[in-house]
Amino acid sequence: MTTQVQLFINGEFVHSKSEKFIPVTNPATQEVIAQVPCTTIDEMEHAISSAKEAFLSWKETPVSERARLMMRFATLLKEHQADIADIICRELGKTVEDAKGDVWRGIEVVEQAANIPSLMMGETVENVARSIDTYSYIQPLGVCAGITPFNFPAMIPLWMFPMAIACGNTFVLKPSEQDPMTVNRIAELFAEAGAPKGVLQVVHGNKEQVDVLLHHKEIKAISFVGSVNVGQYIYKTGTDNLKRVQAFAGAKNHMVIMPDANKNQVVNALVGASVGAAGQRCMAISVAVFVGAAAEWIPDVAAAIGKVRPGVYTDPNAAYGPQISPQARARVLSLIDQGKKEGATCLLDGSGIVVEGYPNGNWVGPTVFSNVTTDMAIYKEEIFGPVLNTMTVNSLDEAIALVNSSPFGNGTAIFTASGHAARKYQHEVEVGQVGINIPIPVPLPFFSFTGWKGSFYGDQHAYGKQAVRFYTETKTITARWFEDDMAATGPNMSINLR
């Protein structure tokens, strides 16, 4: 019997009454490993109303208790990192180490959520006028929701609900229907950590269930990570319904290589940053921009990338796994073919890759193009596969102009031995996350994940201090107390401080 993925509503795992199910497949074999339900409207209402009811008591829970919940949760995630990673491997196809890293980056955000008391501190000014004080409090919004993608089924949900819940909100999570079992395991551990019933709800499905969250009057804020078109839809629809929205969308990340950079470091960095995780990450380096004489290294980069190969997660020599679905593979192969037709030089072609013993897997081999121009589809579109475009320019100014002309601004990097070049780049480039001799500059959670331009729609970013601002409101109080009030109570006034 194929596993039916359950819903997590009001602290309990329950089988959906839905008649609509979506198959969850192993992308290396196409074997159906589970059926995920499309949550019914009644079940969606139950989840949201349970979250609303739980909010009434959860918001009154002392912030120190909320922090201790996150400490217990982080401990359980660490203890079960390997078994969560195993679920990721089976339903997404990641290599074991990549899957463990997925979990670990989520754990780091939970650890940040355990610091919530200091992050929730307000501000105070005494005597803003004579005998008048002003101070501010930070208070939760209510019921928040998250819509997460397939490519990091542990990390991205853990970006969202721990910070929101630590702030005093309750949360409804709709994970990707392509790998839903990871989130269910995480929710199970959250309940084991002592989370009260109703604080976290997990519903499953597709656009119909997302639309319920976008239109429901009790949902106060929406967090989303996914594709450009869906991100724009989430942002427009959510804000039209007067909700706060943070929508992380597409990317086309450039890495600029200066002639004074260390060649071996450049080559090694590009191998992992371009094809790692099968290219299915929004921080992948998909464009390498070689400045001046550095262009001589392009054949060496292609040769190094050509030494890696995809495979199943049980193969210790596999560099990365399959694409998530046959449709995703077909799209990547179509873009590779289009790149050839538009005149790019295919130095390394992975479109015909074969993984022995797994003929039905969604495999795409590492692919490298040179002579890429900005009007080509492989440059304009986010391929989301193991494909690296290489380009050449004559100067750092040209490189900066190229990067800044892109509609996306998620991440970028520069490799150089020059402090002046590095500073000029970090100052002038119009991208939210910049690496200097670091190819994938994802910050640790005490900073924020900060995409710019078409890579992000909203005002406050993920995790860190900005997440706290996103999931809270500020209340400012101006107070004055009169001596006559004290006199009226009499000299024997007593105050119970317990």
Enumerate the active-site residues.
282
Extract the tokens encoding 498. 């317990």
Question: Which amino acid is it at 439?
Answer: P
Q: Which residue has the tokens 């995480």?
A: 186
Extract the tokens encoding 150. 């397939």
CA-based nearest residue to 412, from 213, 236, 269? 269
Extract the tokens encoding 473. 């409101």
How large is the greatest C-alpha to C-alpha distance in the chain, in angstroms?
A: 91
Q: Which residue has the tokens 């997660």?
A: 313
**Beta bridge partner(s), residue 24:** 34
CA-based nearest residue to 170, from 146, 205, 193? 146
Helix (H, G, I), strand (E, B) or coil at 440: coil
Extract the tokens encoding 46. 């139950």
Question: Which amino acid is it at 268?
Answer: N
Q: What are phi and psi of 224, to 5 degrees?
A: -140, 145
Residue 386 to residue 81: CA distance in whole angstroms: 26
**With contact defined as beta carbons under 8 Å apart, do 423 and 321 qualify?**
no
Residue 366 to residue 306: CA distance in whole angstroms: 6
CA angle 118, 106, 184 (to 5 degrees): 115
Residue 306 to residue 347: CA distance in whole angstroms: 10
CA-based nearest residue to 236, from 9, 406, 458, 466? 458
Residue 234 to residue 145: CA distance in whole angstroms: 12
